[in-house]
Amino acid sequence: MPVRSYGVTPDGATVDLYTLGDESGLRAHVITYGGAIVGIETPDRNGVRANVVLALPSLADYLAQDAYLGALVGRFANRIGGASFALDGVDYRLSRNENGNCLHGGRVGFNKAVWRVLDYADAPEPRLALRHFSPDGDQGFPGGITVDVTYSVSGGNTLRIAYHAESDRPTVVNFTNHAYFNLGGATTANILDHEVTIAAERFMPIDARLIPTGEMRAVANTPFDFRAPHAIGARIGEKDEQLAAALGYDHNYVLAGSARVEPQFAARVRAPGCGRVLEVRTTEPGLQFYTGNHLDGTLRGSNGEIYGKHAGFALETQHFPDSPNQPAFPSTVLRPGERFRSATEYCFGVD
């Protein structure tokens, strides 16, 4: 069934599950709680289908977890240092939920909202359009904003996520999806053998609170150089102050190219054992590469598998972390009368 009930939240809100695509190619499952991707099924080189994102057994599990599995993230993806920023001469204090920072929108971010369905269709292109309204002052952010996110499947192998937003006051915005991928299938223990390519010559070093220092450092001659394919596990254990600060990879990459009006190549990941390949394209200027460093085994998948450290990786397309406090970074300010737009495509294949 393309649509079915997924459960009810403690405050009585109904959560539904939508399926996009079919068994002949890519099939994605999305719930209205957090707009979360709870499944992406795709075949390997032998035609064997598997779910390639970390997923939980039930709505109760999604309500209880704080790892943002598969969720839409906002108002501001990634971190805002000190949970504060100034805009047009006004200081704003935000919800603090990680080391004194505002992470992924604060304690009650978009990942905890039940999104409203605007549109759903399975032909000619499977799509699901969701909307969420965040009022003025939500988690300390100024302005009431309306955010529309559309999931669509095209070509039998590509999941596209398109974001649109408007605000009634000057504010800052930054959106992403926080799916954790494991191309070997969610029952595979970890992703350390996955080979990663990232189209970036620079990455952003972080301080002890995981906030960018403002430097954009060349990846050359560092463990952060993925301009050519490298296995995730090949250098993740090296003695490096940046790897030590994040307990692995949890850094923003400055993507090559500018004026990314249409999605451009950002990254490619290959699982050598099964042959599945994921290519990411985006209009965003940044890509947060995260290797599940804080997964600690407390979450379990639908088949009882344990999600321990490095069980999955995330490729979060976004603007740069802490941009409201970093004048040299691309602006994340959204003003009345303007319309925020971005798009990211996850394209699956085999080799």
Considering the entire predicted model, what is its pTM?
Answer: 0.97
Residue 316: its H or E element: strand 314-318
80-99 residue pLDDT tens: 999 999 999 999 999 999 99
- Which residue segments constitute the domains of the chain, with CATH numbers given? 3-350 (2.70.98.10)
Instruction: Give the pLDDT of residue 1.
Output: 63
Q: Which residue has the tokens 């990680």?
A: 98
Residue found under tokens 């209009």:
283
Asked whether the bond before 75 is cis by omega within 30 degrees of 0, the reply is yes
In the numeric block, the tokens 């639908």 are attached to: 302
User: Mean per-residue pLDDT for 45-60?
Assistant: 97
Which pLDDT tens digit goes with each residue over 245-295? 999 999 999 998 766 789 999 999 999 999 999 999 999 999 999 999 999
Q: Is-contact 302 56, C-beta < 8 A?
A: yes
Active site residues: 178, 316
Give the tens place of pLDDT for each residue, 316-340. Answer: 999 999 999 999 999 999 999 999 9
What is the predicted pLDDT for the residue at 164?
Answer: 98
Nearest to 310 by CA among 250, 238, 225, 269: 250
Q: What is the DSSP string of 32-88?
A: SBTT-EEEEEEE-TTS-EEE-B---SSHHHHHH--S-TT-EE-SB-SEEGGGEEEET
Q: How far apart are CA 77 and CA 79, in angstroms?
A: 7
- One-letter amino acid for residue 31 of the chain: I
Tell me the helix, strand and coil percentages in the chain, rounded to 5.
Answer: 10, 45, 50
